[in-house]
Every structure is written in structure tokens, then in C-alpha cells.
Amino acid sequence: MWLSLFLLLLPPASSTISLRDLQGRFATPDYPQGYPNDMSQTWEIKVPSGYGIQLSFTYIDIEPSANCAYDNVQIQADEALYPPSCGSWTGDWKKFHFPREYHTSGNWMRVTFRSDFSNEERYTGFSAYYTAVDVNECEESNPCSHFCNNHIGGFLCTCRPGYVLQENQRLCGVRCSGEIFTRFKGLITSPNYPEHYAENSKCHYTIRIEQGFQIMLNFTSHFNIERDAFGQCTADVLKITSGQKEYGPFCGNRAPVIRDHLSNVVEIHFSTNGEGEGTGWKIMYSSTAKQCPVEILEHNVLQPKNSDYDYKDSVRVRCESGYELHDNVRNQYIDSAMVHCQKDGTWNSSWYSCRPVDCGNPMALRNGKRNVTSTVYQFLNTYSCDEPYYKLEGNAIFECAATADWVAVGTSDGTLPNCKPVCGRTAISDDTGRVFGGKPARLGYFPWQVRLRTYDGKVGGGALVSDGWILTAAHLFDGSRQTTVHGGIVNLQGLSPEKALPVEDAFLHPNYRPQADGSEPNFEHDVALVKLRARAKLGANLSPVCLPAAGETSPLRAGRLGYITGWGKTEVRDRPIFLQYAEVPVVGMDKCRGLDYRGKRPRFTDNMVCAGQPGTDSCQGDSGGPFVLRDLRHPSRHVVRGIVSFGPQQCGSYGVYTHVGRYLAWIVKTMREHGSWEDEETRA
């Protein structure tokens, strides 16, 4: 019992028999004695490609059952699995439940027989034979695009005249690839143009001309390439490539327009589907020399100057005014260079550049400043002076010109401006005092005041009238013209030669005559100029007083107040340490004539001014110092109108001053004739 149950659970024995001949027979095991129980037998039939299979049953006797569930035979062919079959056939078709013959267009078939574990009766099974049958592929699937020729075991595709069989040996197309056009102009069409172009084709045309030339494409108006059902270019497609640029895809009935000049190589790709309904296209191509830009370098001048330049053209390059041609390889400037238009559409000009001329640093101004951001062509420099002690005279703004010179803007004038000293500035307040009985001055009150000491021991004063000249009295130099000058001070303590202003020479008025012992005093033309060896640097404590305006030669109006300054004798000290100042009026000359000059009779002329008042006067040691009045037209300025010249033995009343206005012409002439300094050449 256990053994029987175990046997029922075992799967049926199975095997597969392979049949490879063009024909053959096979039958159920033990045929015709009756097939065994509980078995599975498969026959796999395979014939050569190009054949089908015809299977015929000559005898069938298989146990019948509902849906052939017990014993059955089942056929699989052409990827179809037929239902299981059973029953008997002994010549009576009515008893046979399945067809006698099976056919397949494919070259493979599988036959499987199965029996269950028991049969109530003995059934003999089946016998069958098969044969390979030629398949007419041309009728069944029409695999060829043009002509299909059937033969035993296969078929052969052929094409209409003008077409060739493609690699798949089924589709027909035309030979339209590999042709290269090398002429400078030509004509290219789609296959069969203007008739319908070939279907199933992939055409590739190449235009390749000499480098340095460009290709131009022109489509004729007759243009017809099939679109797909959605109007897109997917059915038949025309594309054009040149360099890195692609044009297309093109299709439809409107001829495309390509305005670009293409490179010297153009690829034309035309592919068609299996329809071939369009009439195609026609391209006329031409060529032109590749053009180079009309501007080679920035700021260049070309010779010849043309509207366009083609491959192999040559031009001479120079630079426009204000620029210089630089050879970047040799690192030198040259007058011109010959350059050539190259085959890639560029000039061989990378070695050269037009550089703006360089004017170098503009000359520096004495007592002034430069304001320049660049020294090359068309850049500007603005001069300014050290205000408020200097004032600019002349053009302030200069431009770097094409000649590599700095010139005033809008002109060709390269004359530098001057920083002219500002005269007559003072920090004095309105308080007054006396020189003889006066009061000490502070720094900046009288910045023009200087102290002179000649080598023979005379001391006196003077006034700075520019940054290089001092106005003083001539009689200080009766014994020696060598002198030491200190300026920018009010305190005489600590003076040393190192702090002195360097003196170059002293110039006395040519009509001045030194005083002679025993003779009547004659201080006519008592005026002198001292030239400094170098121009003084002006500032709050050292700046000039103004000279009178031209023509101010008439006698000064009585009552005008002016400042007198000096380190001369006071009522309490013969040699004061601090600079003293006082304000005194101009008086009539008769006041000075009436004084006691130790019985002598000095000469009085219109070249002299009398000024002072009882108790306020200049004195010994003040000689050469200035008598300064406010400028009536410019109250902030002060003008030197007199020079301390002489006075009575007893100070404290009136004194005589040289009338500066009378000597203005000589002063200006002397300063102009001798007013040059060696260091002026170092202003750059």
C-alpha cells in the first residue's frame, strides 16, 4: 500500500527525441503493441531555414477523456500551442477528434505525447511522418522592397534598374554616398531629381575645396521633401553641416535659405524612408576667398585701405596719430609692418600692437603739484600750487599729445605755468605799537621782514618782495656787499649761519653814491636789491610783500598809515631781541626838513617820503626795513611804499624813507635781468 501510494506520486518518465532530417517517421513507444502507462515523450522536429513542416498522422488510438486530460498528444508550431488531442482513428473520421495533418511555415515543430498512470483498455498510440515543405516567402510576407524571387529553401530580393540592394539584402536604394566635390562651384541634386527620389536611401555628399576659401549654398525654388503626418521633418530629412554648425533638418515645399558663408568643407546628409514620395532638391554651390576683418589692430592705419580683404591679401600696418607700432616679440617700436590674410580668416598680426605714446612724467612745478593718473596719449595732468602762498599763472590742465609732449589743453603750447608767490598776506591784527617805543610782533604778522648783517658789522632790515629777492637800503653796503640774511623769524636768539638764507649778490641803484665823511648827507637813490642764491620756500612765516603798481610815482598822501618794523634801537634797548612794529602816518616833507641833523643839511627830493609822529619812529638798526601800507584796492594785501633811509640823530619823531614807487622800473628790470637760478633747470 505504501509502495503503491509512492508510485502514484512519482512524475511520469520523460524523454526528448530530436529529428533533423528533411523527412522522417516516429510513433508512440511500443507501437502497435500499446503504449505504456505513466510516460511523457517529446519529438522536436527542425528542418533547414527556408522550409516549413508538414506533419501527418497515419494511425491514432489514444485513450479518450474529457478535454483529453488522461492521455493526449499536443502540437506546438509557429509559436502556437495547439490544444491537447486524444481519441481514435481507424479510417472513420467521425471518431477522430483532431486534424490528420499539421502545417507550419516555420522550420520548427514540437510533438509531445503523455499517458497517465493507468489505462482501462489497451490503446496502441499513434504513428506519424513529417516532411520538409518549401515556403514561398514572397507570397507570405513579401520581404523585398522591389522584387521577391522564391527558390527551394529561401528567396532572393532584386531591384529595379538604377537601384542596388542594400546590406540587409531586402531593401533597394541608390548609390548616393561617398562622392566628393572639389571644384570651386558645382551642382548637387537628390537622386532622380526632378523625379521622385529613391526610397530607403542614405545619401552623403561632401564639398571640399582649398583652405582659405568659403562655400556658399543656394537652393533652387523647386524643393519637395516629404514631411511626416504631423508636419515634422522625420520622414525624409535633409541636413547640412559645416565646421561646428548644423543647418536643418529641412523638409516640406519651401526651399531653405542659408545666408552664411560656410567653411571650406560642407557635408550634405539626405535620408529617406520607404515611401519616396518627394521630388527632392537641387543645390548650386559657389565659393569665395575667406575674408579677414577690416580692422587688424586697434588704432591701426592700413595701406591699402579696402572695404574688405580676402585670403592671401597683404597690407602695411601703421598706427594712427598718438600711437606707436610695437613688435611684441622683439620688444621694440617699429615704423610699420606687413601682415597677411591667412587661410583661417585671421591676420598674422598677433606679434604687433598699437600702443599709445608715452609722454613721461610731466615737468614738476616749483612750489606746485602734478595730478596725473597716466602718462600716455590723451591723458590729462592738472597743475596746482601750494596755496595760499602761491598762485598759479598760466594753463593748469595739460594733455599728453600725439607728439609725446605735454601741451595745454586745446593748444600746442607746452609752456609750463608758474606758481607765483602770493604777496602781502599777513596775520596781523588791528592793534598798533611803535618801533621806537613799539611792541613785539608775532610770527606771521610781517612774514616779509628779514634781518641783514653785513660783513663790516652793519645791521638793518629788508623786505622779501619775491621768493628770491630782498628790497633794502643801498647805504647798508657802503662798506661791504657781503651780508647774512635771516627770514621767517621774530626772535633773534639762536640765530646761526646754518639758518640763514643763502645770498648770491647785492645790486645797488646805479645812481646811488656812498656817504662820504665830512660831506653833506645825500641818500638820493638809497635803494638796493639782494638776490638769494636759491629761491626761498614760502609759508606762513616767510612770504613776500607786494611791490607798488606801475605808475604809482606821485608823493604819498599825507595821513596814510603804514607799518614800520625792525630790530633797531628802541627807547629802552639798543638791540631788541624781538621784532618791533608800529603804525605811523605819512607827513609832509617839511616835517623832516625841520629836524636837527647835527648841523648838516641832508638832501631832500621827491624820491623820498617823510613819515612818523612824535614818539613813534624808526631808529638806528632799522635801516633798509620796509614801510608798508594796506592796498586801498585790495585791503587784504600790503604794499611796500618806502624803505627806511635816514633820520635825525635823535629818534622818536619823523624819518625819511626811499619812495619805492619811484624805483619800480629799476627794481623790475634788475630782477628780470638777474632773476635766474641754477636749480631752475631741475624742475622736471
Residue 136's pLDDT band, with cuts at 50, 70 and 90, is confident
For 599-605, the CB contacts below 8 A with 24+ separation are 600/520, 600/521, 601/520, 601/521, 602/520, 602/521, 602/522, 602/523, 602/646, 602/656, 603/520, 603/521, 603/522, 603/523, 603/524, 604/656, 605/524
* Percentage, residues of the chain above pLDDT 90: 64
Does residue 105 lie in a domain region? yes
Task: Give the whole-angstrom CA distance, residue 563 versus residue 540.
Answer: 19
Domain final residue, candidates 234, 254, 289: 289
Q: Catalytic residues, which ones?
A: 475, 526, 623
Q: Which of 99-108, 378-387, 631-640 has the lowest mean pLDDT?
A: 99-108
The CATH number for 224's domain is 2.60.120.290
Q: Check residue 275 and give its pLDDT.
A: 76
Whether 620 maps to a domain, the answer reads yes
Q: Specify the pLDDT at position 110.
A: 95
Return the pLDDT at 294: 92
What count of other Cβ atoms lies within 10 Å of the Cβ of residue 194? 14
Q: What is the rounded CA–CA span in Å between residue 563 and residue 585?
A: 9
pLDDT over 50 (residue 424)? yes
Determine, yes or no, domain membership for 168: no
Tell me: do 59 and 93 sit in the same domain: yes
Residues 447 and 562 in one domain: yes
Q: Are residues 629 and 604 in the same domain?
A: yes
pLDDT of 6 higher than 60: no
| pLDDT number for residue 429 | 60
Q: E strands within 409-518?
A: 418-421, 439-440, 449-454, 459-464, 469-472, 483-487, 503-508
* Contact indicator for 196, 231 with CB cutoff of 8 Å: no
Residues spanned by the domain of 417: 368-421
Q: Between 541 and 151, where is the model more confident?
A: 541
Whether 150 maps to a domain, the answer reads: no
Distance CA 424, CA 635 (A): 10
Residue 430 confidence (pLDDT) = 47
DSSP string, 558-587: TT-EEEEEES---SS-SS-SB-EEEEEEEE
pLDDT tops 80 at residue 11? no
CB atoms within 10 A of CB 120: 7
Please report, for the domain that includes residue 452, its CATH number: 2.40.10.10
- What mean pLDDT do residues 236-250 have? 94
Average pLDDT over residues 632-644: 93
**Domain CATH number, residue 406:** 2.10.70.10
Residue 627 has pLDDT above 80, yes or no: yes
Dump pLDDT digits (tens) for 207-223: 999 998 999 999 999 99
Report the C-alpha gap between 617 and 436 in whole angstroms.
Answer: 5
Q: Do 233 and 374 belong together in one domain?
A: no
Say whether both 406 and 529 belong to one domain.
no
pLDDT at 5 over 50: no
How far is residue 91 CA from its own chain's centroid? 103
Q: Which of 242, 267, 289 is the last residue of a domain?
A: 289
- Report the alpha-carbon distance of residue 81 to residue 74 in Å, rounded: 8
- Confidence at 676, pLDDT banded by 50, 70, 90: confident
| pLDDT above 60: residue 91 | no
Task: Note whether residue 156 is domain-resident.
Answer: no
CA distance 435 to 567: 8
Say if 534 falls within a structural domain: yes
2 three-class SS: helix
- Phi, psi for 268 (deg, rounded to 5): -115, 120
Q: In one letter, which amino acid is 459? A: V
pLDDT score of 525: 97
Predicted confidence at residue 477, as pLDDT, reads 96
The 10 Å Cβ neighbour count of residue 116 is: 15
| Mean pLDDT, the chain, whole residue set | 89
Contact, 115 vs 125, CB < 8 A?
A: no
Mark whether 476 and 595 lie in a shared domain: yes
pLDDT at 338: 96
The set of residues, in sequence order, having a beta carbon less than 8 Å from that of 432 and lying 6+ positions away, is: 439, 582, 583
User: Largest Cα–Cα distance of the chain, in whole Å?
Assistant: 193
What CA–CA distances, in Å, run from 332 to 326, 328, 356? 6, 7, 14
Cell 606679434, located at residue: 351
User: Does some domain include residue 180?
Assistant: yes
3-class SS at 682? Answer: helix
Closest Cα to residue 642, out of 463, 445, 444? 463
Is the pLDDT reported for residue 137 higher than 90? no
Judged by average pLDDT, the poorest of 99-108, 232-241, 640-649 is 99-108
pLDDT band at residue 148 using 50, 70 and 90 as cut-offs: confident
Q: Which pLDDT score is estimated for 12?
A: 60
Rounded average pLDDT over 39-56: 92
Does some domain include residue 679? no
Q: Is 446 helix (H, G, I), strand (E, B) or coil?
A: coil
Q: Is the pLDDT of residue 432 over 70?
A: no
**pLDDT bucket at 245, cuts 50 / 70 / 90:** very high
Is 60 exceeded by the pLDDT of residue 3?
no
Q: Which of 48-52, 260-264, 293-297, 589-593 has the lowest mean pLDDT?
A: 48-52
Whether the per-residue pLDDT at 437 is higher than 80: the answer is no
Nearest CA to 140 out of 183, 109, 105, 88 is that of 105
Query: Which one has a higher pLDDT value, 145 or 510?
Result: 510
* 201 and 268 within one domain: yes
The answer on pLDDT for 598 being more than 60 is yes
pLDDT attached to residue 680: 52
Q: Which residue has the higher pLDDT, 571 or 243?
A: 243
> CA–CA separation, 75 vs 287, rounded Å?
71
The whole-model pTM stands at 0.60
What sign for the dihedral angle of Cα 322, 324, 325, 329? negative
245 and 111 in one domain? no
* pLDDT at residue 9, rounded to an integer: 41
Question: What nine digits make up the cell of 294?
Answer: 577690416
CA distance 57 to 129: 7
Looking at 323, 356, 389, the residue that finishes a domain is 356
Are 273 and 309 members of one domain? no
Q: Model confidence over 154-177: pLDDT tens digits?
A: 888 888 777 788 777 878 777 788
Report the distance separating Cα 288 and Cα 313, nearest Å.
13
Res 446: pLDDT: 97
- Pick the more confident residue, 3 or 72: 72
Lowest-confidence segment of 93-102, 119-128, 223-232, 530-539 by average pLDDT = 93-102
189 plus 127 within the same structural domain: no
Return all residues near 61 (Cβ < 8 A) that are at least 6 apart: 88, 89, 90, 123, 124, 125, 126
Higher pLDDT, 273 or 612: 612
Q: Over the stretch 446-499, which tens digit does the pLDDT of each residue have? A: 999 999 999 998 999 999 999 999 999 999 999 899 999 999 999 999 888 888
| Statement to judge: residues 227 and 80 lie in one domain | no
Task: Domain count for the chain, please give it.
Answer: 5
Q: Do 487 and 405 belong to one domain?
A: no
What average pLDDT score do residues 405-423 get? 94
In the block, cell 593718473 appears at: 373
What is d(CA 262, CA 245) in angstroms, rounded to the nearest whole number? 9
Confidence of residue 99 (pLDDT cuts 50, 70, 90): low
Cα dihedral: 13, 19, 24, 29 (round 10): -10
Structure-block grid coordinates of residue 134:
518549401
CA–CA gap between residue 472 and residue 484 (Å, rounded): 13
What are the φ/ψ torsions at residue 531 (nearest 5 degrees)?
-95, 130
Give the mean pLDDT of 564-568. Answer: 93
